[in-house]
Amino acid sequence: MNSSNMKKVKISLVLITLALYAFSGFAQQESTNSLSEKELRDGWALLFDGKTSKGWIKADGNSFPSEGWVINDGMLTLEEGWKGGDIKTSEEYSDFEFSVDFLYSPSCNSGIKYFFTNYKMGGYLGLEYQLLDDVRAEDNTREDHLCGALYDIFPADSSKKKLKGPGEWNTALIISQGMHVEHWLNGEKIVEFDRGSKKYLTGVAKSKYKSDPVFGMIEKGNILLQDHGYAISFRNIKIRK
């Protein structure tokens, strides 16, 4: 093969490689906020379609906030400095698997609350999967306040936790089956407990949560995304009952 032909082959290979990268990026974008055939068969449902706020309301039950929370480029984003307030699912859940991708800003403090309800004593509360910039956030001095922890009760297993930094996507998974609950982060189980167990009740008693009925012991509740004043984005929000 002469040099001219070799040059043409090299150019063709480069073009093919670029096309594959472009196709890969397009395919990834197309799969965002959608369900695969397997997920549909397994009973997963989207809680965010990437375009609208359907299925989400304010924590107090009013309509989705008109400012603070922005839907753009397939992401549900809380803008820093705005007072959009917490948002929750319009539906309540008991046994479920809840999965969400999150991208946090430097120093971010946020959270995913579940079994969220208005307690007779204590007001609006929910078990919280803590979302935090473990390195830069102010609230990073207690292990049970770090990312992935059951906030103020159980710390995440640091030997298994692999949290990506600000500007990178992470995936949180919460599993609730009966009284058994698990927190997962990027494919690793980092928290596991049973609501109502001696260990759980001792942890709640030592925490800041004082409620009637006992915190986290309700049958069902909403799932909530927290507004703590820091920028954070969510996508691929889905649930399996």
104 DSSP β-pair partners: 232
Which residue did the predictor score with more confidence, 15 or 142? 142
Residues 117 and 1 in one domain: no
26 and 55 part of one domain: no
pLDDT at 208 over 80: yes
Shared domain check, 121 and 16: no
- How many structural domains is the chain composed of? 2
pLDDT confidence of residue 1: 57
* pLDDT mean over 73-98: 95
Question: Is the pLDDT reported for residue 17 higher than 70?
Answer: no
Regarding whether 84 and 18 lie in a shared domain, the answer is no
- 99 and 169 share one domain: yes
Which phi and psi angles does 159 have, rounded to 5°? -75, -20
Res 31: pLDDT: 82
Over 80: is that where the pLDDT of 112 sits?
A: yes
Whether residues 51 and 81 fall in one domain: yes
Same-domain pairing of 16 and 94: no
DSSP code of 233? E
What is d(CA 190, CA 194) in angstroms, rounded to the nearest whole number? Answer: 14
Q: Are residues 10 and 96 in the same domain?
A: no
Q: State the average pLDDT over residues 82-103.
A: 96
> Which regions of the chain does DSSP assign to beta strands (E)?
44-46, 56-58, 69-72, 75-78, 87-89, 96-104, 109-119, 123-132, 170-177, 180-185, 188-194, 222-225, 232-240
**pLDDT of 28 over the 60 cut:** no
One domain for residues 12 and 46: no
Read off the amino acid at residue 54. K
For 128-177, the pLDDT digits (tens) are 999 999 999 999 999 999 999 999 999 999 999 999 999 999 999 999 99
Identify the band that residue 90 occupies on the pLDDT scale cut at 50, 70 and 90: very high
Q: Tell whether the model's pLDDT for residue 67 goes beyond 70.
A: yes
Q: Which of 110, 116, 182, 96 is nearest to 147 (CA)?
A: 110
Separation of CA 217 from chain center: 22
Specify the pLDDT at position 200.
98
- Does residue 178 or residue 26 have the better pLDDT? 178
| % of the chain residues with pLDDT over 70 | 88
Read off the DSSP letter of residue 219.
S
Indicate whether 26 pLDDT > 50.
no
Q: Can you give the residue range of the structural domain that contains 21?
A: 1-31
- pLDDT tens for each residue of 166-206: 999 999 999 999 999 999 999 999 999 999 999 999 999 99
